[in-house]
Structure 1
Amino acid sequence: MGKKALSSLAVTGLLMLGGCGVAYQSPSVNPMSASASKVRVLAITPETVLAANRSGYSPKELPAVFFANAGGGSTQRGAGAVPDPVVDYQPRPDMLETRVPPAVPDAPYTIGIGDVLLLATPQTGSTVEQLTGLLAASNSRQGYTVQDDGAIAIPNVGRVQVAGTTLEEAENRLFQRLVENQIDPTFSLEVAEFNSKKVSIGGAVAQPAVAPITLTPLYLDEALAAAGGITAEDLDYASVRIYRDGTIYQIPLRELYSSSRLSRVQLTNGDAVFVDTEYTLDRAQAYFEERIRLAEFRQDARIAALNELNAEVNIRRGALAEERENYMTRLELDSVDRDYVYLTGEVNKQARYPLPFGRTATLADALYSNDGVPTRTGNVAEIYVLRGSPDPREFGALTAWHLDGRNAANFLLATRFELRPNDVVFVAEQPVTRWSRVVTQITPSLITSTAAQLN
């Protein structure tokens, strides 16, 4: 037999060895082999995707520090003790003059510091899961107080600036923030407590009081009624004095009782109403000065409280940032307990794919996080997800979910097929790839053998 015939015979023999798996071992999913007798192969179809996704799995969550905000725990500070009230006595007058304050322009109610807003949301199970703390507050009828910086702090949403806005504008801002945080923006907003706009009533009334201005206008007769009514008996020398924006207005009590127009004088935020039984303005002026001092005192206290709040928020924000940075460092050092899926076979890089926090991942997520399947070497008709049995008594039994990618429409199923911890994604090689690798392995032996025979 010639050397040429010997070489040909060697090539044929080596190719036969490669085809038999002697020269080259290629991984595959084979339910018929003895060592894999417990492998069950199921095609990935819409029905089997539903069955596979029914297996219980709760994705790991990020630490609570990633969902906290720097201002959520702060509360409104008080102004402390108020100055002593002013008490003064003045002699009686000879005559009274009527000076009516100017009309208040019509304008919608604007939300202010101290107001309590109430969010109402649908009473459904899914909404409870999505809005958690927000729904808990609304269901228990607990509102959100507008704090010194003009914002309300809502769990899972953060601080929303609402001071100075109408209810409609506040609803629009809150709607936008809920959408940004991927929360169902179905809600209604109302003012539960009106604390930002007030009118004080003092003097000869049954019970000096502070009346809030609400969504409806507050008129003089209503403010006096809120203070228990006027107690002055001598109508000749009694008057109602209104302090507004540095000016004192006066309505004699006799004219107030005889004119429905005067009793319906509309009041505005910051008005001070004083029922005086004396003619001169000294006592009323002292009362108004007292209201001014109280307002200045509370404003100074509010500024101090706001500075304290800002300092607390900055400290809290720094602590949150440090905790998050520490966690990210642990994540980089692989010291955090994670769930993984393993990619093997004809993928661009055999690796482990970390399942994301807070949500499930799909077969498509894992494949395309690794640049997909290399079509030159990977067999798209042989894509498998290998999943072991959750029953410890069936250790070694597994299911091979098979995706046939020759029909590109089947890749849509890959976007629906949810992965579970320790799943193995396997892509078989192309038949031509297998032979190419056999040839690559046997070529050096063939050259060596032929050279030896020629010598």
Structure 2
Amino acid sequence: MRFQLIAAAAAAFALSGCGVIYHSPTVQSGATDSSQVRVMPITAENALLANQVDYQPRSLPAVFSQYAGGGSLRGAGALPEPVFEPEQNPGQLNVRIPPAVNPGPYRIGVGDVLLLATQTAGSTVEELSGLLAAQNRRQGYTVQDDGVIAIPDVGRVGVAGLTLEEAEAELFRRLVENQIDPTFSLEIAEFNSKKVSIGGAVSKPTVAPITLTPLFLDAALAAAGGVTASDLDYASVRIYRAGTLYQIPLSELYARTGLRRVQLVDGDSVFVDTEYDLEQAQSYFEEQIQLAQFKQSSRQAALAELDTEISIRRASLQEQRENFDRRFEYGGVERDYVYLTGEVRRQSRFALPFGHSASLADALFDNAGGLSTTFADVRQIYVLRGSPDPREFSGVTAWQLDASNAANLLLATRFELRPNDVVFVSEQPVTRWNRTISQIIPTLGLADTATDIGN
């Protein structure tokens, strides 16, 4: 019986070699019944040649690259002009000076415009000639309502409430985090967050910004074109600050230098009055308070509207993405595939990814149906590629990867797959022989003997 088993095995080996008993798929070069097969080894040069086949990966729907966005506040529109009706009334005034203040260094606020200058690439000659500074890229950024500025490649950086030095430190940190050259300069181009209003008997009622340098009373009056009151005996400068009213008669203001150096702070209102009583100044200050409240309520309403709008946008984007996911789950999304066959873990198709190409290595080492190292002949890994024209089937190129040298697997990472490629992995010779034996032995009734010999 043992002799019969050995004889059967020898016969099976011979028959399998000539392909009489067991047939397995192979790649044969030359002319076949339906096409001309050309075998090309995968080398670095041939990988570049194969990758020249034009292919545009499918893209995800645009909804996956969209975001709700921050939008912009619509604002409250144009504000009414201040009311001023000059009158003359005699009277006597007392001096009430605001307390000294020390607001500290300027802190960036909403509405300020920051100017960021970053270096551009320049030659050594430009650097030596001093031309590089002129080539700096300068971009202005407005501090938004939530206190941030949005910088490309960096993101949203919170700067409201920071001094210029603190803002530079924060920006330096964010640039380093994003691996961007942290060589830059930062300055405030427009001061819009802190203001003092000046009205009354002045040439040009205005709103003066508070900048890096302190704003004093004489400078504020000069910004409004100067005082136009002709009778200094009954004129005064009234300052409204945080619910308290202060006044300085013009005669005292011009006589005492120190009074002209009263430092003003954000939110102050200055009114040059020609009346003894406070009715005219009171009307002006009430108007400024109402304007401030109007701005604040309008800002809050705009923020609430913006939040609602962003929520609606996000819900819409999320719904569209979920609809795509459901279509994808049920096979309703058109995809490009590569087909894996031969000695792989599972005969399957490999979906080419959205937005970028996939390599032969991606398919071979895929968890679902990748390379079977037990039965595969790693010398014969093929990518079968036909003509891109579906009406033509006259030629097939079999790109062969010999992975017996593991270093050649690097070539698999550079070989790009195309739609409808067939990745075929041939079987080991001993695998073909084992499969032939496994089919012959039951036919000859030698299964029990083969089991005894194995034991």
Which interval holds the TM-score relative to the shorter structure? Answer: 0.7 to 0.9
Counterpart-to-counterpart distance in 2, 1:239 and 1:10: 124
Distance 2:327 2:186 in 1: 42
Equivalent of 2:402 in 398, 401, 404? 404
* Distance in 2 (alpha carbons) for counterparts of 1:221 and 1:396: 92
Determine if the alignment matches structure 1 residue 316 to structure 2 residue 313: yes
Q: Deviations over 1:326-364 (max 9, x none)?
A: 011111111112222222222222222222222232222
Pair 224,58 (structure 1): closer, same or farther in 2 beyond 3 Å: farther
User: Per-residue deviation at 1:61?
Assistant: 1.9
Matched, 1:209 2:199: no
Q: 1:448/1:84 Cα in 2 relative to 1: closer, same or farther (>3 Å)?
A: same
Q: Give TM-score, length-normalised by structure 1.
A: 0.77
Aligned to 2:417: 419
Question: Quick one: which of 95, 98, 101 aligns to 1:97?
Answer: 95
Deviation per residue, 1:11-63 (Å, 9 max, x gap):
43332221122322222333245456342413232x44444444433322222
TM-superposed deviation, 1:259: 6.7
Contact 1:96–1:237 (Cα < 8 Å) also in 2: no
Q: Take 2:357 and 2:329, find their aligned partners in 1: how far apart are those partners?
A: 21
Q: Is the 8 A contact 2:31 2:37 kept in 1?
A: no
Corresponding residue of 1:135: none
- Comparing 237-246 with 58-67, which one deviates more in the overlay? 237-246
Match of 1:130 in 2: none
Between stretches 71-80 and 321-330, larger displacement belongs to 71-80
* Residues 1:288 and 1:26: Cα distance change in structure 2 (over 3 Å): same
Q: Which aligned pairs between 1:29-428 and structure 2 lie closer than 5 A?
A: 29-32=27-30, 34=32, 37-45=36-44, 47-78=45-76, 85=83, 89=87, 91-97=89-95, 99-112=97-110, 114-115=111-112, 146-147=144-145, 149-150=146-147, 163-165=160-162, 193-214=190-211, 217-253=214-250, 256=253, 263=260, 265-370=262-367, 372-390=370-388, 395-428=393-426
Q: Secondary structure at the match of 2:308?
A: helix
Shift of 1:209: 1.8
Q: Which runs of 5+ in 2 are unaligned?
A: 122-136, 450-455
Pairing partner for 2:23 from 22, 25, 38? 25
What is the CA RMSD across the aligned residues, in angstroms?
4.2
1:79–1:297 contact (8 Å) kept in structure 2: no
Change in Cα spacing, 1:198 to 1:354, as seen in structure 2 (3 Å) is farther
Contact 1:59 1:360 in 2 (8 A): yes
For residue 430 of structure 2, what is the amino acid of its counterpart? V
The one-letter code of the counterpart of 2:38 is V
Could you give the per-residue CA deviations for residues 92-140 of structure 1, whole angstroms, max 9, x where no partner exists? 343552614523332243231x44567778899xxxxxxxxxxxxxx99
Q: Is 1:447–2:449 an aligned residue pair?
A: no
Deviations 1:183-212 (A, max 9, x none): 979898766654433221211222222233
Aligned-residue offset at 1:167: 6.1
Summarize the Cα distance change of 1:107–1:426 in structure 2 as closer, same or farther, 3 Å threshold: farther
Q: Secondary structure at the match of 2:365?
A: helix
Separation (CA, whole Å) in 2 of partners of 1:363 and 1:420: 10
Deviations 1:283-341 (A, max 9, x none): 33332222112212222222222222222222222222111110111111111122222
Q: Cα distance 1:44–1:75, how it changes in 2: closer, same or farther (>3 A)?
A: farther
**Normalising by the residue count of structure 2, what TM-score does the alignment of the two structures yield?**
0.77
Which stretch of the first structure deviates more once superposed, 56-65 or 280-289?
A: 280-289
Give the aligned residue type for 1:229: G
**Unaligned 5+ runs, structure 1:** 125-138
Aligned length: 431
SS at match of 1:352: strand
What is the deviation of 1:64?
2.0
Q: State the secondary structure of the residue aligned to 1:369.
A: coil
